[in-house]
Amino acid sequence: MTIASSDSAGSRRELVLAEGREHAVLVARQAAARAALAPTERDVITALSPLTAVGFTVLPVSSGGSADLVVVGPSGVFIVDTNSWADLAIENRRILRHGVDVTADLDALADLAFAAEAALAEIGLAPGEIHPLVVLAGAHGIRARIGVVELVGEQEAIAYILGHGTRLTPEQVDAVLTASLDFFERSDDDHLAQGDRAPEQSTIDELDTIPLLSNAEVSYQLQTGLAASRIEPWMSFLTPEQARLARRSFDGPSRIRGAAGTGKTVTALHRAAHLARTQPGIVLVTSYVSTLPAVLASQLERMAPEIRHRVEFMGTHAFAKRLLSDRGIRCNLQPAIADAEFEVAWRTVGRPGLLGTLSEKYGYWDDEIEKVIKGRGIETFDQYASLSRVGRSRALSSQERAAVWELYLAYQKRMEARGAHDQADLIRLAERSLRDEPLTRYAAVIADEAQDLSAEMVRMLHHLVGDAPDGLTLVGDAQQSIYPGGYRLEELGISVAGRSVSLSRNVGTAPQITRYAEQLVADDVVDDMEGGHLVPEPAEPSVAPGVPPLVVRFSNRAAHDAELPRRVREIVSSGSARLGDIGVVAPSTFAVRSAMAALQKANIPIVELSRFDGRPVDAVKVGTVSRAKGLHFEQVLLVQVPTALIPDPATVQEPVVDPTRRSLRAAEAAPRGRRGAARAAAANAATRPAARAAREESILLARELYAAATRARSGLWIGTIP
């Protein structure tokens, strides 16, 4: 296209917008006259009327004086109170008229918007798409935010509304408009119709004197708004279940759970945004994996930039490290030294003693110290001797526990001699500091993938907000826990009784993929943090399109890696996904490096998940399962999986979903069918300690594969090697 033709197209567009604006102003004047509105309302209706040329509806409403108009369109819902306040001053987030504080006058508008959020959540509209707005008639150059209410001058109103960009599809706008009409009381004659309705023949002369922006100014604002980048669908529209939960208030700590694919992380992010809008103080969003908070921060920047500064995103270890640094508490974190000193302690104390005669691997005892003793804040042997070792299948005798404690003391002594700390020490120091000296800047803490957090981590986060209403929200799925050990919330003094909610509907994963992934953990029994041994119920299947997973078995790693570039190109060429919507997920760091090398050799752009910050990039994402948690991709390539761990998709059975109970079910329920009975018999046979330890390891591997497989929305390719 030449420059001349581009200018011509732009001129035609401006002409169309100008004609639409003139038509909309005519309709606005007629509707305002019929509604017998106050002059300020008529002024603002006329000022906003150009919006009707680009898909908005502007309607006068009857709301008991708290609002005059509602504007519904691609940029969301705007509940508008018109005003002509004179001698207005805004100081320290307060409104002064003639020197008198009138900030409380906005409360009714805020309450109306809050009620509208609840009503429109029933169709899935995210709470952040509803904006209480005061438009000051005849004013310009005013922009302020008081609580949840925005104040703008009349001439900035269009720019403010369009500045939110295109957030709703035409179909969603229609649904929201219908729901808004049901919510707001109004008469049939009190609304300003869409701009494509035929105008009346009469006009109101007195409105001709209202100063309007020029056609060029309005056209510029409309074009700028229409050109704003679109957001992802989930950023504005959720399922009703998610939308209700995002804004639900709890009178203490709460928990959001649900199977993979039920939208827990999305709901948590919307909840963070909602709390940031409605609560004083900072909202902390955290996770065990350090990269997930960075991705969520980028997503919130696109979803709700106006409150991004009110939400802090940080991994739990990074938070603890910053806290200790700010308080001048020494912590010499040395992971390499920790590994070396544990190896020496094992060689000199563990292996020559009782533990060396047992069949458990070296790493089992490392996990016992890190996840059980240190992870749960155990300080004395008496505590450890009587501890219920949640999440550990292999029982330990009193003599074996004494041997573990001896190994722990030897390791700690060596670390102290080196003046070094490990990751668990970091969390413990931060927890102790917060216990002694609370930090009061946080209004709420949301912990995503909470099943991966240690007891000490959750205790540390709880210290930030205590049992305050809407203070602590734990989000996660016990079946996606990929680390050994566990705990009960009651041992931390935390109760979520009556405040634990399960999302019951899969919202994004194709049912063929979900069924396959569920078979990977079909015989899993989880130790839930709320107590008890539980079997997760399958979620209600989604209606998302997809195909059955494809399992390709390779004889060696070289053949496997050679296939990766071909598979990626096939996905892109078929239109199944763009490069940026493909995730390559691997069970180990070695497999990640191998996959990256294969793709780079084929000149396929990649970004490692450890460096991914959530901003859209047209490159294949590559990373370990832990790095992929909380993320979803249109197509997933699960690479270098041991062949023995992966069933053939043809053997996958249809899950049985109990429509009356979609939450967690007691594990004591009888296993279903002959396959379930065989599994139960095998589990009963595995009573020897070594067998139980091996079973624990296999269950964690299965959960890891389950978590990886459910990162896929519509396509899953699994490459296996011997």
Query: Which residue positions form the known binding site for ATP?
Result: 258-265
φ, ψ of residue 152 in degrees (nearest 5): -140, 155
| Adjacent-strand bridge partners of 91 | 94
Q: Alpha-carbon distance 534 to 286, whole Å?
A: 26
| DSSP letters for 481-514 | --SS----GGGGT---TT-EEEE-B--SS-HHHH
For residue 289, give both structure tokens: 């994996």
Rg of the chain over Cα atoms, rounded to whole angstroms, equals 29
Annotated binding site: 258-265
Q: Report yes or no: 610 and 623 within 8 Å, Cβ to Cβ.
A: yes
For residue 81, give both structure tokens: 């109170």
- Which residue do the tokens 């949301």 mark? 446
Nearest to 55 by CA among 154, 196, 149: 196
Helix, strand or coil for residue 169? Answer: coil
In sign, the C-alpha dihedral spanning 585, 590, 591, 593 is positive
Q: Is 669 exposed, middle or buried (0-12, 13-18, 19+ CB in 10 A)?
A: exposed
| Adjacent-strand bridge partners of 59 | 70
Q: Report yes or no: 82 and 135 within 8 Å, Cβ to Cβ.
A: yes
How far, CA to CA in Å, does 406 sit from each of 336, 354, 425?
A: 22, 10, 18
| Adjacent-strand bridge partners of 515 | none
Q: What per-residue string of b and e applies to 255-270 under the rule 16 or more CB within 10 Å gives b?
A: bbbbbbbbbbbbbbbb
DSSP state of 654: P
